[in-house]
Structures are given as structure tokens and as C-alpha cells.
Chains A and B, each alone.
Chain A
Amino acid sequence: MDVKVPSLAENINSGTIVKIFVAEGEQVQKDQDIVELETEKAVAAIPSPVDGKVTKLHVKEGDEVQVGQVLLSLSEATAREEKQEGAGESERHREPEKERAEPPSADREKKETAGSEEEEEEPQAEEGSKADAAKAAHGPPASPSVRKLALQLGIDLARVRGSERGGRITLDDVRVYIEQLQRIALERTAKIPTRETRTLDFARWGYIHKQPMSSLRKKISEAMVASWTSVPHVTQFHEADISSPVKFIEKYASQYEKSGGARLTLTSLVMKALVPILRKYPTFNSSLDEVTGEVILKDYFHFGVAVDTEQGLIVPVIHDVDKKRLLDLSRELGELAEKARQRKVSLEELQGGTFTISNQGGIGGGHFTPIIHTPEVAILGLGRAEVKPVVRNGKIEEATLLPLCLSYDHRVTDGANAARFVRDLAEEIKNFKEDEVKLDSEETIRDKETSEKRQVRKTKK
């Protein structure tokens, strides 16, 4: 018989022979892998449908093959020949029944990509070698209309348990199977964080205390799982030399303090520095619409700031960072952070963010890998700035270095852009202009400030 390329998967009609495991003249057993085929979806081995001897190979490694193309020819079943010889029968006029070379390759492919866990949970058809033989010859027992439906839905009826006499599969059986598949799929996404720990009795090993999760904690937990499991994260590390901006902060901190109790911090300074960089690399200030496949670029700059509170992480949003002076920003940041700690942030103040900053510097963290605050596509983590020796023009000098950690959604942008982004951001911070920090004359600033605030309110309405 000829072994042909089986139907591989929905819409996959061709593949490339990666490897041939057998040679002409070799004996092969049923289900022994004969070739390995690479399609655009996966690499799958194709098993021999019968016992036999390879009489001819019709393909070679590297060949592009189509579904239905003959891979190799087998002279069938030495075992049977032996049996015939033993029984003294020689009559064998009849053409061997035209068998179909149809290993369930779609399943194989699924198994290889999905791992073994799936097999345990998926509803299985009854096993049994005799039943399998009949199924191989006839397919699972089901009426033509049910078979057609299964074909349309891409369901392998061999995996469906038939409820009627003789294992006959009805429309209801297919429905039950689909429901099972859906349930398994849903459980799989929902169960991940707790499944294992819940079953363990930790009291066996010592005293334990139980603490209910706060609703905020649960929210954070859900949000983190959602972001972590749905967004491919990459975190880009860098360091910015903040020797000069640090001096500005030292120089102007007290002036800011006097101007309405604003606290000039590295966070607000970096927020200002981020605006031109996000203008230059707008994909980092965007969201992805997975349904339409569009990247939504935003012309506004509303930055979330991660605030550590007793109950857990809260991220209030400062709107229109680009339109605000540093003094303004610093004051608002201080106010919002305080509101967050008191759990007094309004829902509005938590929404609309386009980018988030998480500064662990105050606590003393180094580099870390922040999780993206979806539906944003990037988050910037700041570590603790430290004075380190750096080599410049052959001399060792002191520099204050700030750890930068940019996590981004790799679906939307790539590493090269992230590298450019952090490189330019480090330059921007390093060369932050004193003019931007300096308070010219308190009056003019106040005027400007109030007029801007009004403008902002108007646009909000």
C-alpha cells in the first residue's frame, strides 16, 4: 500500500519533510513514526498505518509535500504472510482492500503542542484494540448528519463517547463533548493560582494563621494574573546618570516646599522627562485592541504612579503631564499619593492612564521587573539611585546612577525599540534642564498654574 500525507489540520495542506526515519527495505510496525513533517503550525511525526516493509521511498528530506501525496510504499503485513504460510493457504487473489493512510495526525499535533496535561482531562472515547480496529476501518459509529457536523466543527468523533447502543454517537453526545471542552478550557484559565495550594493542609507541619484577602488584594491578584498571563512581558534594564538632576532637586527642594508644600522628587522629574521620549516612541503610549488588531496611539499623557499603601498597591493617575509644570506635577503627585494611602482616591483619578511609573527608590530596591498595568503597554520601574564609580575619559569618576526597568508588551513593540527608548530616556534625564526645575517668579507660576487648571477642567467636562 501507499502511505500518503494525511490531512494535517484545518487549512494546512502542505508541509516540509524534516526527517525520514525509515529506509527502503526496512520493516516498520504499525504506529511507528516514519517521517517527521513540519507545517506552519507544528512539527509532527507521521506514523505507519500498518505493519509492513518499506518497498519504496517517494520523498526525501527537505521535500515540500501536499496532503494526499505518497510518502512511501509498503508491502503489507509480514505477520499475515507468516500466518498464511503456517495455515497452508496460498490463495490471495483479491486486491487488498484499499486502506486509507490516515493516522489521527491532527490529534498528534495537538498533543505535541499542548503537552500531556490535556490528555488526562479531555473526555476520551472508550478504548479497546478490537473496537479500534473496527473504527479504523469504519470510523466511529454516528449518523452521516452527525459526522458532517463534526467535520464542520473540526471535532474528532473518535474522542467523543457515544451514549447509544454500540457506542453510537448522537447529536447530544457531540453537544456534551463540546460543553466538556469548554468547561475544561474555562477551568484551566481560572484555576491556575490556587489549585495546588488549596489542597494542601499546611497545619500538618506546624501552626498556621489564616488571613482573608482584602478586596483590594483580590483585585490586585486578578489584575496581575490577567496581565501576566495575557501579555508577553519583556523588561529592559538600564541606568541613568542623575548626578546633575539630583543637584537640582537638592537645590530647589526647599523652594518647592515653600510653594504650596510641593515635594520635588525624582518621580515627578522623570515623569517630565518621559513626555518627549513617549512623543518620540508613541507605541509605548498606546493600547492594543485585540479584537480589531489595532494599536491605539494616544496623544495625551496621563501617567499612573504606583503607590504603596497599607492595603496594597494603588495606582492613581496624573492627567496631562505634558501640560503641567514640574512644581504643579510635584504638588499633585504628593496630594494624590496621600489620598491613595488614605483610600480616598476617586475612581476618576484611577482611570485613563497611558503609562505607569513605579518608583521603589525610596524603599531601596534595585532593578526589578514590573508588571504592565493593562491595557497600557509599558511601565517604567525606578530603583534606588546610588553613587557609583564610572570610567569617563580614562578616569574614574563619581556618578549617581538610577536603575531604569522598562517592561513592555512584546506584541506591540520589540526589544530594539525598548533599548532606544531607555537609552534616550537616560539621556533626557541626565541632561534635564535646570530651567525646567527653576521657579522663575512665584506670581507668574501661580497665574499660569491656575489658568492651566481651568483649561484642564474644561476639557474634562
Chain B
Amino acid sequence: MKSAKTEVVVVGAGPGGYTAAFYGADKGKAVTLVEQDKRLGGVCLNYGCIPSKALLHATKLIREAEESKIRGISYGKPQINLEKLKDWKNSILERLSKGLTTLGKTRRVEVLYGRGHFEDSQTLRVETSEGQKFIQYEKAVIAVGSKPAVPKAFDLGNRRIMTSTEALELEEVSKDLLIVGGGYIGLELGTVYATLGSSVVLVEAMDSLLPGIDPDLVQYVRRYAESHFREVRLKTKVSEMATSGNQIKVTLEFEGKEKVDYYDQVLVAVGRVPNCQDLGLENTKVKTDDQGFIQVNEKQQTSDSAIYAIGDVTGGELLAHRASKQARIAIDVMTGEPSTSADIVVPAVVFTDPEVAWCGLSEAQAASMGIEVEVVKFPWSASGRALTLDRADGLTKLIVEPQTERLLGVGITGCGAGELISEGVLAIELGATAKDMAETIHPHPTLSETLMECAHLYYGQATHISKKAKIRK
């Protein structure tokens, strides 16, 4: 039985795990990184953010070419070589993953490929292809992430019922696709498949798409989905699925009435569950909540003093960049540097068409927390740049604390919102006020001007929109 010693063992090599490993190594720790997959990068790089964004980009041109007609420029019907598209997408993953391997090597991070299992609070067993290995560690970081939730009733062992992982493999683009779940995964992949030729029906149990996000930001995405998908059915549940020849027979329930449809493929995107099973947590003092997410404090410490946890496995918003930030917090705390996740601003982006991005406090949150805020909205129809891009389907809004004029939240819908939101994140992190944003010159003509105009609007003095000016001190 081999037993190796290390200062820090990181379980899981996604954006949280590899950041923890690399940062820990940069801070002088001996680090072992354990990954059960064949390559580094986790869900984000291999089965999530990166492949989905590659496919969204590749298909964007098809959508744009189509829209180009009304501007007097037409193209022929696109020829789609699915194999080539897959190869291109996979080449990106390959390249990024190789890059990570190199980055790990130069930092002397030891990488072990295999499944990690906690034997106790100081020992991790790793099932490698060369047999079991035991790691005696001082501190551990659990960064095993999450996986798509598949309700038992949908789990028929039929390849035609996919999760995001399979959908991103792009094995087949069939005619009739049902997407279960109107969250960001369903909408992003629905966009890809619809562009590639599928006839998409999307069902969502709640009464809106992207539940939880302010409705004014969602409206443009809803419009897009309604015009590009065959159908969007809200307040609709899937009560049953069954294999029916080459198709899936799906029973949908809407307002008490049942409807039976047949689909070539079904994408189940109803949420994600933590990868806590078979991790041996019962051999440690780590505690999980009723949904199985690991409980941590604002220092990313679990109830086991030797073990930290970061990223999706700790619940909350399941976002790669949040995991990376938590990785740094965990390593800082571990190495005696004060740090806390209590005051961080975590932006979120949905890469639909148009994109939706937000950070800080949302209108809905302010209302539910009883925080008095003032909200100002700048529609992109008033933005010159948006019109030149033929993308008036956008909105920028600021959520402002009225007494101090401090920016508490920023929300943007529109093309490129994902890139624009960082200015809002920085502004909130710096404690900036609406005045600060209004008085900062933004280049013309750009979409970033919408943030400045919105801030001017707070004072009733936006150039490109008419609103009765408020007298403010």
C-alpha cells in the first residue's frame, strides 16, 4: 500500500480545483491535484462553459446571416459538417486542457488521475489506473463540482434522453427536440440546436424563463425563444417519459391537462446536483445540507478543520468564476492570510441571444430583503451603437441606493452583455456611486455608453433619452 504525503490535496480539477492547486503552489505549498476525468478542466472546460460557448459562437454566424437579409445582404443556405464542427470544438478543449497540464507542471503540482475517496480527515484514497494510492494530507480542498440532475422518471437508459454533457457532444441533431427546463442551460443549448436545424419545444415548470432573474431582463430572451423555437410552454411539467421506437413519448401536464407528444431527442436541464456521492465524506467531519451540498462558512471551511470546500459542491450559484474566487479565499485562509467570501460580488452571465448579465443586488432581491432602492433603465433602442448593430433588443439598468447614490446592482440584457457586466462588477466592488459612473467618459459609439447614460438618467439628465430631470443635491 503506497502512501504519499502532501501539504494540500485538491480533489477535482475544475476552475475551482485547478485555481486552488495552482494558487496553493504559488504560495509555496506542496500540492497534489486529484482528477477522476482523463483531463483537467472539469465540467466548465470539458462539458460546460467552453464547449457551449464554442458552439454558440459557431452557430451565431448562421443566425446573423439570416438576419442580414433585411439589410440587403443575403447568403446561401449554410452547409453544416457536424464532424468538422465537433473536431473544431474538441480542439479548443484539447488545447485549453493541455495548457492547464503545462501550467500545473511548471508549478510542480502533482496530478493524480483517479477517483478520490476520503478514508479519514487526513487520508485520501485515490483509485488510479495503477491501483489504489493513499495520500496523507495536512489540508484538503474539495472541489468536485456538480452534475446534471436527472429525475428518476426520466432515467430510461435511452441515449435519446440527454443531459447537457451529451448534448454538447453533438452526436446527432435530430428534427424534434424537447428541452425540459427553461434555465440558462436549456436556453443556451436550445439556441445551438435550433440554429443547427432542430425544431425545439421548451417546457418550463415555472411561469417564466430564467426563473429568479428580473423579468425586464428576461423579456428579450423570451422573445427570441418564442420566435426561434417552435414552442415555449411555461407552467408545464413533464409527468412521464417512455421509449417509443426511435422516439421518446413524453406526457406533458399543463394546468391539470395532459398532452402526449413524441420527440426524437430530449434534453433534460432541470438543475444540477453536487458530486458528493462515494466521496467518503462520512469518514470526515464534513457536513452537507439537505440537498447534499457541503456546508461551508465564509472562509470556505467545512465543519472538518482539515477540509475546505469550494465551488458547485458548496451550493449557491453554480458558477465557474465563483469557484475560482472561493479557491483563492480557501488558500488564503489556509495560509493564514485573512480572507472572506462575505463581501464578494459574483456576476452571472447567460449566453443566450441576446445575452443576459447581472451582478450585485437584483430588483427582486432588494424587494424581498426590504432594501429601498431606485432603479433606472436605459433601453438599447436609444443607443446609437445598438442600432448600428441592429440589436435594439437590449436593456441596461442600475439599482441604486437612494440615500448614498451607491450602485448596488447592475443588470444588462443585449448582445455582448457578458463583456459589459465587468464594468458593473468593478463599480460595485469599488463602492462607486451613480455619479461616479455618470462622470466617467465612455467611448462613442459603444454599447458601454448605455451604462453611463443609465447613470445620467438617474439624475434625469441622460442625453439620449427624455425624462423629467430630478433635482438632486
Contact = CB atoms under 8 A, between A and B. Distances in A.
Nearest to B338: A151
Contact of B303 (A66, A80, A95, A134): A66
A7 B206 CA distance: 38
Interface size on A, as a range, is 35 or more
Interface in B302-342: 303, 316, 337-340, 342
Interface string A56-75: 00000000001111100000
A253 interface: no
B383 interface: no
Q: Could you say which interface size class chain B belongs to? A: 35 or more
A147 B341 CA distance: 12
A139 interface: yes
B297 A134 contact: no
Contacts, number: 105
A130 interface: yes
Given A93-B206, A142-B431, A137 B371 contact: yes
B211 A139 contact: no
Contact of A143 (B298, B337, B361, B430): B430
Contacts of B433: 165-166, 168
Interface string B341-371: 0110000000000000000110011001111
Contact of A133 (B360, B372, B406): B372
B60 interface: no
Contacts of B369: 97, 99, 133, 137
Contacts of B402: 130
Contacts of A91: 207
A166 B438 CA distance: 14
Given A69-B303, A130-B403, A165-B435, A138 B408 contact: yes
B119 interface: no
B445 interface: no
Interface in A119-145: 128, 130-131, 133-134, 137-144
Interface string B266-308: 0000000000000000000000000000011111010100000
A152 interface: yes
Contacts of B371: 130, 133-134, 137
B169 interface: no
A202 to B, nearest CB: 49
A454 interface: no
B403 A137 contact: no
Contacts of A143: 429-431
B212 A94 contact: yes
B405 interface: yes
Interface string B241-267: 000000000000000000000000000
A37 to B, nearest CB: 15
Contacts of A69: 303
A96 B436 contact: no
A167 interface: yes
A137 B343 CA distance: 9
A166 B370 contact: no
Contacts of A141: 404, 406, 431
A168 B431 contact: yes
B370 A80 contact: yes
B365 A97 contact: yes
Given A69-B303, A137-B361, A142-B431, A100 B368 contact: no
B408 A144 contact: no
B432 A94 contact: no
Contacts of A70: 295
A290 B296 CA distance: 40
A151 B339 CA distance: 7
A98 interface: yes
Contacts of B403: 128, 130-131
A102 interface: yes
A136 to B, nearest CB: 8
A252 B212 CA distance: 102
Interface in A146-165: 147-148, 151-152, 162, 165
A168 B432 contact: yes
A166 B404 contact: yes
B342 A139 contact: yes
A72 to B, nearest CB: 15
Nearest to B439: A165
A134 B431 contact: no
B347 to A, nearest CB: 14
B401 interface: yes
Contacts of A128: 403
B250 to A, nearest CB: 23
A93 to B, nearest CB: 6
A137 B406 CA distance: 13
Nearest to A69: B303
A100 B342 contact: yes
A4 interface: yes
A140 B339 CA distance: 16
A380 interface: no
15 contacts: A7-B298, A69-B303, A80-B368, A80-B370, A94-B368, A96-B368, A98-B316, A99-B369, A100-B298, A130-B402, A137-B369, A138-B360, A141-B431, A143-B431, A166-B433
Interface of A: 4, 7, 66-70, 80, 91, 93-100, 102, 128, 130-131, 133-134, 137-144, 147-148, 151-152, 162, 165-169
Interface of B: 206-207, 211-212, 295-299, 301, 303, 316, 337-340, 342-343, 360-361, 364-365, 368-372, 401-406, 408, 428-433, 435-436
Closest 3 pairs (CB-CB, A-B): A141-B431, A68-B297, A166-B433
Given A94-B212, A134-B408, A151-B340, 20 more contacts: A7-B298, A66-B303, A68-B297, A68-B299, A94-B364, A97-B365, A99-B369, A133-B371, A137-B371, A138-B408, A141-B404, A142-B431, A147-B343, A152-B338, A166-B406, A166-B431, A166-B433, A167-B404, A168-B406, A168-B431
